[in-house]
Amino acid sequence: MRAELALVLATLMLPAPSPGGEPVAPAGGEEVRRALAFAESLFAESDYYRAITEYKRVLSLSPEAPLASRVRLRIGLSYLAGGRSGAALSYFESLFDDPSLGPAARLQAARAWMRERRFLPARELLAGLLDEADPRLVGEARYLAGCLFLRQGLGAAAREQFLSLPTGHALAERALWLADEALRIPAIPKKSPALAGVLSLVPGLGHLYLGEAGTGLLALSVNGLFGVAAADTFRGGHIGAGTLLAAIALFLYSGTIYGAVESAHRYNRDAEQNFLDELEREAGLDVPAGSGGLAPSPEGP
């Protein structure tokens, strides 16, 4: 971790060349270096919100443009790692036109949109990265697109993206495993919401279909109790009380049908989420945080 931190810090601090070819020291000099080193140490310790404060202090010292852009990218990544993907997006989007960091920023923005469950803008960003010259970046975009399709339940599309990664790519082995797992999507157990609703015309039967025996028996008992009570009240000539009890019985009856339909939807969502959680544990449905050129090589800013 210390070696990686030193590499990132050294890269971030590379000065931009002057028009005559001589390097120009970043504005703020030693103070910038100290602030940046502290921010990087906080980031490495996963203390993301304190790191954000320190990165912003670096920006307040007016560093040179290449360093400032990379610090903004780090702020966005800190927000993303800290669970505030919406806040991260504004920093990533501000770098889309950056000639050096634009592709990395778009990849990170796609990750943020996925965490917001906004799959369409994420897909558009990833599709735009497929024409980039960097094969590592393209592979990461394809891997992330495969993860996106998995989250949407589109197994065939996910498999296509995973299988398109070249053999030598760092994510290729994980992608091949996920491509095979994508074939399991049609086999995920599901319940029909329509059938659950139809069965619930007999109170409780829809819940029994969903495996919720206790809820089903409770629904049958309560609906039956109020139905019988309303009928007896009408027979006794108590029209007002009978009408009230009948209204309550009708409300409970319709609620039983609606509840069964919603339970079927919840059952399906839980089954899909359990499948995705399994894949997350085994392989990970995201690219590494340092992907997309986030930590550039020391050869240039």
State the pTM of this model.
0.73
Task: Give the end of a domain, one of 97, 117, 152.
Answer: 97
Residue 168, in any domain of the structure: no
Which residue bears the tokens 């589109």? 154
Least confident of 2-16, 172-186, 187-201, 279-293: 2-16
Helix, strand, coil content of the chain in percent (nearest 5): 70, 0, 30
Q: H/E element holding 263?
A: helix 239-282
Euclidean distance between the first and the last CA atom of the chain, given in angstroms as a whole number: 21
Residue 136 CA to residue 104 CA, distance in Å, equals 11
Residue 36 CA to residue 293 CA, distance in Å, equals 19
Query: pLDDT category, 28, cuts 50, 70, 90?
Result: low
- pLDDT at position 107, please? 95
- CA 260 to each of CA 127, 226, 276: distance values in angstroms, whole numbers, following the listed order: 40, 19, 24
Residue 119, in any domain of the structure: no
- pLDDT at position 291, please? 55
Residue 230, in any domain of the structure: yes
Task: Give the end of a domain, one of 50, 66, 97.
Answer: 97
Residue 258, in any domain of the structure: yes
Residue 195 CA to residue 133 CA, distance in Å, equals 51
Residue 42, in any domain of the structure: yes
Residue 116, in any domain of the structure: no
- pLDDT at position 29, please? 76
Task: Give residue 14's region: left, alpha or beta (phi > 0; psi -120 to 50).
Answer: beta
Residue 102, in any domain of the structure: no
Residue 139 CA to residue 132 CA, distance in Å, equals 10
Residue 151, in any domain of the structure: no
- pLDDT at position 2, please? 43
Which whole number is the average pLDDT over 4-22?
A: 39
For the chain, the domain total comes to: 2
Highest mean pLDDT among 2-6, 61-65, 234-238, 283-287: 283-287
CA atoms within 13 A of residue 247's CA, in its CB half-sphere: 6
Q: What are φ and ψ of residue 17, in 5° steps?
A: -70, 145
pLDDT digits (tens, 9 = 90+) for 38-95: 999 999 999 999 999 999 999 888 777 788 899 999 999 999 999 999 999 999 999 9
Between the CA atoms of 284, 94, 32 and 74, what dihedral angle is there, to the nearest 10 degrees?
Answer: -10
The domain of 232 spans 193-282
Task: Give the end of a domain, one of 73, 97, 121.
Answer: 97
3-class secondary-structure state, position 142: helix
Query: pLDDT category, 146, cuts 50, 70, 90?
Result: very high
What CATH number is attached to the domain comprising 91? Answer: 1.25.40
- pLDDT at position 296, please? 37
pLDDT digits (tens, 9 = 90+) for 202-232: 888 888 888 888 888 888 888 888 788 878 8
Which residue bears the tokens 């590379």? 14
